[in-house]
Amino acid sequence: MTRTGSTRKRPPEDRRSGIARRLGLVPTTQEVVARWLDEAVPRVGGAAALDAGCGRLSLLRPLRPRLSRFVGVDIHPPAMPLTWLDEFAVADLCRDVDAFPPATFDVTLSNFTVEHFADPVGAFRAIGMWLKPGGWLVITTVNRRHPLVDLYLSIPAGMRAKVQPIVKKSEADAHPLVGACNTPRLIREGLASAGYTDIELVTTSHLARAWGRTWPTWGLGLLGDIAAHAMPARRSTIVARARRAS
């Protein structure tokens, strides 16, 4: 009953996306990630891909026909089988450096996981070890330079645990937050410190989508997106890619 009720309250995806697009809040996070993943995954040869922090959906799924091996990893096992994966591993990306052999993957996606890492640079190093030389890491994460994002991450943990299921797109997206490496500068410095090269970083207006659980929270996120969109350094979301040195 509760689940059905919250689904009815949620703004329709196509309507929300259409409003944001008409307001010029483009490119979207998904568009940037899709383009970069398409460039990172070879069209022939069968690449190996890792979704680091794999949730119920993966932006790598459209590239499944080009992948010979598709692996997910997270600190907890999935609530339901992720049938598009070949394998799933339970590991702490900040600590379990031996979760995969070195030089295993051609591309790794970390989609809204960095904000949960206690040791982001340690996680970047571990992922870098698992990437083949020249392989790509693509990241999305929240940007603390956006005032609403910083406010949200600064709420005391106990209080935020009550707020998260209200504002997040779904209750299942509500996980403990750390936010230790969540500005464009810190992401760039963290990737460089972990040994990556060819670091590229953009920001996107993603707050309305992230907070789209109900019309009021979506509206608050949309106002936040509109206010920051003309200031790229303060947009709500960081999208970055970096290459393991050859």
pLDDT, mean of residues 202-227: 93
Please tell me the predicted confidence (pLDDT) of residue 159.
83
- Angle at the Cα of 169 (from 175 to 174), degrees rounded to 5? 10
pLDDT computed for residue 169 by the predictor: 54
What pLDDT shows up at residue 1?
35
Q: Evaluate if residue 12 carries a pLDDT over 80.
A: no
Phi/psi of residue 75, each to 5°? -75, -20
Read off the pLDDT of residues 111-143 as tens digits, 9 standing for 90 and up: 999 999 999 999 999 999 999 999 999 999 999
How large is the average pLDDT for residues 166-189?
Answer: 78
Instruction: Give the CA-trace dihedral at 29, 35, 38, 41, to 10 degrees.
Output: -70
Check residue 172 and report its DSSP letter.
G
Mean pLDDT of 66-71: 96
pLDDT number for residue 173: 52
* Two tokens, residue 148: 């609403």
What's the pLDDT at 175? 65
Q: Which CATH superfamily is domain 2-244 in?
A: Vaccinia Virus protein VP39 (3.40.50.150)
Q: Judge whether residue 150 has pLDDT over 90.
A: yes
- The count of C-alpha atoms lying within 13 angstroms of the C-alpha of 109, restricted to the half-sphere facing its C-beta, is 27
CA atoms within 13 A on the CB side of 130: 25
Q: What is the pLDDT of residue 7?
A: 42
| pLDDT exceeds 70 at position 168 | no
**pLDDT at 3 exceeding the cut of 50:** no
pLDDT at 107: 98
pLDDT > 70 in the chain, percent: 92
Residue 106 pLDDT: 97
Instruction: Write the DSSP string, 41-72.
Output: S-SSS-EEEEEET--SS-TTGGGGGGEEEEEE
Rg over CA atoms, the chain: 18
pTM for this prediction: 0.90
Give yes or no for residue 152 having a pLDDT over 60.
yes
Whether 6 shows a pLDDT value over 50: the answer reads: no
Interval 224-240 mean pLDDT? 97
As a whole number, the mean pLDDT across the chain is: 90
Is residue 11's pLDDT more than 80?
no
- Asked whether the predicted pLDDT for residue 8 surpasses 80, the reply is no
Using CA atoms, how far apart are residues 217 and 9, in angstroms rounded to an integer? Answer: 11
Domain positions in the chain: 2-244
Q: What are phi and psi of 129, to 5 degrees?
A: -65, -35
Query: What pLDDT was estimated at residue 161?
Result: 74
